[in-house]
Amino acid sequence: MNSKVFWPVLLSGALWSGLLFAEAKVEFHRTLQLAPSDHMILDVDVPRGDITISYAHAGEISVSATAEASEGAVPTDFFDRGLTVEREGEHIKVQFKSNGTPLHESPRIAYTINVPNWIEVNSSVGTGKQSISGVMGPVRAVSGSGDVNVLYITNDLEAKTGRGDITVIRVGTAAKVETGAGSIDMKDIGPASSAIVKKGVGKVAVDGVSGSFTASTDAGDLRIAGGVYDNWELKSSSGSIYIEPGEESSFEIDASTRSGRLSVENEYMEAPKDPNTRACHQKVNGGGKLVRARSTSGTIFIK
């Protein structure tokens, strides 16, 4: 059944004698009860503001928001004019329509959304930070500009930001992340995961991959550590690549740098006899999955 229910935003201040009051801080709260059998998808779309989405209660979704002015005051109907919370079938939509106020004149906005753990999340913000944790997913988080932090997700993750850092901890299946300019830090992620830094000196650091993995950076370093359970594809234009496969790991290494150096410090590998060697291809502990590393001008370290 395609039902549609709409909750209007309550006025956060007071009207008196036709005059609209303003306050330094304006708040909004709304709670929606859910049945245990409801399969819900949370859709968040706001032009600016920091977003926190996390597991809190099994039977409800609560949406809270604050708008606070660094100088002056915020109209008490700020959320009344822009924020909507809407249910359409299995979707819960949280949206804010900008009134055209320049960003430098806008109040600081923060959204806190508490959800059941079995929810899916699609979250998009133009400018602002995002933090999502403790849900089954899948999760998709997109920011035009701002950091993205995602923790403890059961299913797939897709996280992108035009400018900002991305932190990912413990995703059960594939975690695919990308930043236009920033760094990426990932720990304990599932197979078929990837990390991309498109421009700049942003770094990629990964610890613990349970399957295949691909990563690329521009001028930043790329570091990956953990057991090699499937193929790795690692690329860096001018940054260095650090590979730490763990003690007694069995894998095949294919590494080369066009104008950088190659440094082999792994006790189970045969070190190059020529210090000017820029490539190596050998099986380690009998061989296994392929670790392929390429750098244009950076050093490749194999530890």
Task: Count the neighbouring beta carbons within 10 Å of the beta carbon of residue 247.
Answer: 10
pLDDT tens digit sequence for 170-210: 999 999 999 999 999 999 999 999 999 999 999 999 999 99
> What is residue 19's predicted lDDT score, i.e. its pLDDT?
34
Indicate the domain borders of the chain. Answer: 1-120, 165-303
Question: Cα separation of 74 and 78, whole Å?
Answer: 7
Does residue 101 have a pLDDT over 80? no
The residue-averaged pLDDT of 139-168 equals: 98
If pLDDT is split at 50, 70 and 90, which confidence band does 67 have? very high
If pLDDT is split at 50, 70 and 90, which confidence band does 277 have? confident
Question: Cα separation of 112 and 117, whole Å?
Answer: 15
Question: Cα separation of 187 and 192, whole Å?
Answer: 14
If pLDDT is split at 50, 70 and 90, which confidence band does 13 have? very low
pLDDT tens digit sequence for 17-34: 323 567 888 999 999 998
Question: What's the mean per-residue pLDDT of the chain?
Answer: 89
